[in-house]
Chains A and B, each alone.
Chain A
Amino acid sequence: MQFFSQKKIYDFMRMRFAAISLSAFLVLGSIYLLFDRGLQYGIDFSGGTLIQLKYDKAAPINDIREILTGVGGFVNLSVTEFGSADEVTIRFSGSNDNLGTDIGESISSLLKQTGNFEIRRADVVGPKVGDELRNKGLMAIAVSLIAILIYIAVRFEWRFAMAAIITEIHDVIITLGAISLFRIDVNLDTLAAVLTVLGYSLNDTIIIFDRIRDGIKSSKSTELPSIINESVSATLSRTVLTSGLTLATVVILYFFGGSMIEGFSLALIVGMVAGTLSSIFVASPALLWFKFSVLDFRNKELEKLKRKQDKEKLRSMYENGRV
């Protein structure tokens, strides 16, 4: 079986302006969403209380809301269905004073009259901890970006590293935009999803870069756009297959993974689509922006090769001399 003719070279670079416009639109749209609507921080980062109840029938959401509002003292109270009609989550901020007393117990007694339910989860996060978790999360993203930048700069060239980082930032922003758009709670799981997108998209980008580096050394052409076209076309089959398979697993995760990881997988789906497309349409053109020169690179590689050969020559001479 085969999806793409391997001989054909697609002209991706001709599409680059259309693709970049679309990317720019998505990125700007995401930034707009992030500023306008912002992110909905879950209690992991904002501090607060989350209680998940499962009723033996459809959950009386309105009754619950009424009772809790009537009692008062629950700041930013939200009562929402969770996954299925018989499960609800109750959320409120300002856990601070209640942290000592058992909040699950008091909610349980308040809602006694609403029917039979079981407390499936009760999370209380103090505001200080929330801050710390958020800082650590941002730190994790920053550190991985920097580490990657260094690695690519060493293994490839600094322009490749810059292009990769631009691609990463592009993907992370779009993923965050989707998180804002779909009102996915930002908590530790979502952070893990964003970081996965980062790693995954980088994976994609690097494989294409590797091909481009290969192409620069072996292609007849000296024009970067045509080398990029050759390389992206050659990896297209792989890109589509791997992305398709990975996407399939994440989609399965989204539909069957249960409501606990729904947000996580939705963020992954968006991020992976963005990551796959950006490795083709953002990463490679970015090399052009930085005025990457094929000839220079070839010369450098040649020099490197020459030095290596010289070294080997020397070594063999030395070894021969000894024998």
Chain B
Amino acid sequence: MRNFKITYRLIIFTAVFVFGIVFAMPSFMQSQSGAKINLGLDLQGGLYMLLGVDNEEAIKSKIKSIASSLNYSIEKENIIIDRFSVDNDRIDFSLLDENDVEKMDLILKDINGLAVNFSNLHYSISLTPEEIKATQDYAILQAVETIRNRLDEFGLAEPTVAKQGEDKILVELAGIKTREDELRAKERITKAAHLQLMEVDDARMNQVYNMSEADAAQYGDVILSDARNENIKYIVKSIPILDGSTLTDAKVAFSQNNTPVINFTLNSEGAKKFGDYTEKSVGKRLAIVLDNKVYSAPSINERIGGGSGQISGSFTTEEARDVAVALRSGALLAPVKLLEQRSIGPSLGADSIKMSMIALIGASIAIVVFMMMYYGIAGVFANIALFVNVLVIIAVMAMFGATLTLPGMAGLVLTVGMAVDANVIINERIRELLREGASIKTSIEQGYKNAMTAIIDSNVTSLVTSVALYAYGTGPVKGFAVTLGIGILVSMITAIWGTHGMFDYFMRSIEKSNNTRLWFGYRRV
């Protein structure tokens, strides 16, 4: 075999080829295990959502929860206070007895992140700026985590839940088949699942229909409506006795008349507070509030120890299950809003794949045939390099878990078009040298050398563009940039080293045959 020469270029190319085959295979054969290329939602159908997290609400609910534990401690320590009020981000109250200041300070010291303003026995409490920032950050991370947990119980293959920017969450659900599933998923995700146990203000219940929100606020109350009937209103103390943060479990059960109910369990701290409260509130009514709707308001007949309760309402079994899941995975500290929603039916995705495959194959055939006709065997080399290029793009994308989208497909088609560019430049340079009468060996070596600066400059600029696209682009633009960027990098190896390696291998035969028409599609005159 002394006629054939194996150079480092050919070895690298072969290695890249093998790498491409090994890592691209799983993507082609669905049964095989290994990293597969992710198809974007536009190609496989599914639901895409961008959620905005309401940070303000997170602060409000944090303040509220501080207020309720403050309230508990104050009562426990027998501190007499006046005009306890909770504004959006501030708690205000006054002490009646100067001797309680010390006790009060002890209670406040136990709670982190408070900015306390004290004058004339009047306390004005808010969160420190650091605490506000931390609460907001925590709210979004907690929302991501919670939504992920809720979706995990949904049984979908690979839900994506990711924080995006300062206050947004990206959710991608592939493989949602029916609109019913879509609706349920959406419902589950956006449900705040904020459970509160609140005291009904029985003294003012009879005025509930004559009072405005502002009136109620004066008494430290809020007006909430019934979960089943918007027209039924309750007036309850705005500071909850307990909220869902002390919840440990929630399960669907069935009541005596066989309607689904949700049983929940509280942790020891919650159970104690609940026990203490019910003990001294026998005869009062307790409102079970979920997402600011009253589900039931039973009277307290005796102390409820053990820390379990029940939400009854006219749930369907499915609804009850969804609520239980939501409670179990935790409440969203801050409510989320749908900012953007895209749903793509599975049939559309399948059509898109089909269409772009036709385009990809059509474009490849056109290029392959033309290159072969125009450049002879040099064109065949370029075609082989092109094939490996596509293979490796798929392999690399599969390895990095990159997503192939519809514009990504277009990017792939375009890469195929642009990848031959390097070989066209090289082959043109080789022909030029042949025309000038250089030997075949020199023509090839010099041809590659002369073409190199142009190829590198043009590829680097394309790479710069795709990096900028990736950095500043969103969604489809990003997908396009990934495909293009990987394509350019890979084509540097395949189109430059790969074809050169093949020339090296056949160099002796080319020189011996001296048939430039066969090898370069150009007859030397």
Which one of A118, A195, A264 lies within 8 Å of B345 (CB-CB)? Answer: A118
Question: Are A246 and B461 interface neighbours, CB within 8 A?
Answer: no
Quick one: given A124-B341, A195-B469, are A1 and B464 in contact (CB under 8 Å)?
Answer: no
**Closest chain A CB from B258 CB (angstroms):** 30
Contacts of B52 in A (CB 8 A): 128
A136 adjacent to B472 (CB under 8 Å): yes
B348 touches A203 (CB 8 A): no
B359 A136 Cβ-Cβ under 8 A: no
Contact of B80 with A by CB under 8 A: no
Beta-carbon contacts of B321-340 to A below 8 Å, as 1s and 0s? 00000000000000001111
Tell me how many residues of A have a C-beta within 8 Å of chain B. Answer: 73
Given B179, B428, B462, B476, which contacts A192 in the complex, CB threshold below 8 Å?
B476
| Contacting pair A211 B454 (CB below 8 A) | yes
Contact status A256-B362, CB under 8 Å: yes
Say how far A112's CB is from chain B's closest CB, in angstroms: 14
Most buried by A among B420, B425, B431: B425
Q: Which B residues are in CB contact (< 8 Å) with A99?
A: 337-339, 341
Tell me the interface secondary structure of chain A in the complex: helix
Task: Give per-residue flags for B412-437: 1 if the beta carbon is below 8 A from chain A beta carbons, else 0.
Answer: 01101110110011001001100100
Closest to A242 in B: B421
CB of A203 within 8 A of CB of B461, answer: yes
- A122-B480 contact given A151-B460, A199-B462, CB 8 Å threshold: no
Question: Which chain B residues border A260 with CB–CB below 8 Å?
Answer: 42, 348, 352, 355, 406
Give Cα A250–Cα B409 distance, bound, in whole angstroms.
12
Complex Cα distance A320/B460, Å?
A: 38
With beta carbons under 8 angstroms apart, the residue of B342, B461, B469 that contacts A140 is B469
Q: Which of B343, B363, B464, B466 contacts A151 (CB 8 A)?
A: B464
Q: Is B277 an interface residue (CB 8 A)?
A: no
Is A189's CB within 8 Å of the partner chain B?
A: yes
User: In the bound complex, do residue B374 and residue A241 qualify as a contact, i.e. CB atoms below 8 Å apart?
Assistant: yes
Assign chain B's interface to a size class: 35 or more
Task: Of the listed stretches B63-71, B124-132, B143-151, B365-373, name the one at the interface; the rest are far from the partner chain.
Answer: B365-373
Picked from B420, B473, B477, B521, the residue with its CB within 8 Å of the CB of A245 is B420
Residues of A294-321 at the interface with B, using a CB-CB cut-off of 8 Å, are: none
User: Is the Cβ of A192 less than 8 Å from the Cβ of B477?
Assistant: yes
* Cβ A264 vs Cβ B348 within 8 A: no
Q: Is B518 an interface residue (CB 8 A)?
A: no
Q: Are B347 and A54 in contact (CB under 8 A)?
A: yes
Smallest CB separation, A180 vs chain B (Å): 20
Asked whether, in the complex, the Cβ of A210 is within 8 Å of the Cβ of B454, the reply is yes
When C-beta atoms are compared, the residue in chain A nearest to B455 turns out to be A207
User: Is A258 engaged at the interface, CB distance under 8 Å to the other chain?
Assistant: yes
Is the Cβ of B345 less than 8 Å from the Cβ of A119? Answer: yes
Q: Does A202 contact B (CB under 8 A)?
A: yes
- Kindly state whether residue B468 has any CB partner on chain A within 8 Å: yes
Q: Are A253 and B342 in contact (CB-based, < 8 A)?
A: no
Q: Is the CB of A207 within 8 A of B362?
A: no
Known: A123-B342, A139-B472. A203 touches B462 (CB 8 A): yes
Q: Could you say which of B348, B373, B435, B468 has the most chain A C-beta atoms within 10 Å of its C-beta?
A: B468
| A257 lies within 8 A of B468 (CB) | no
Q: Is the CB of B425 within 8 A of A102?
A: no
In the bound complex, residues from chain A placing their C-beta under 8 Å from that of B450 are: 214
Given contacts A206-B457, A257-B358, 19 further A-B contacts (CB under 8 A): A6-B432, A99-B338, A104-B343, A119-B179, A124-B340, A128-B52, A137-B477, A139-B472, A140-B477, A148-B464, A188-B477, A191-B473, A192-B411, A192-B476, A199-B466, A202-B461, A245-B366, A249-B363, A253-B356
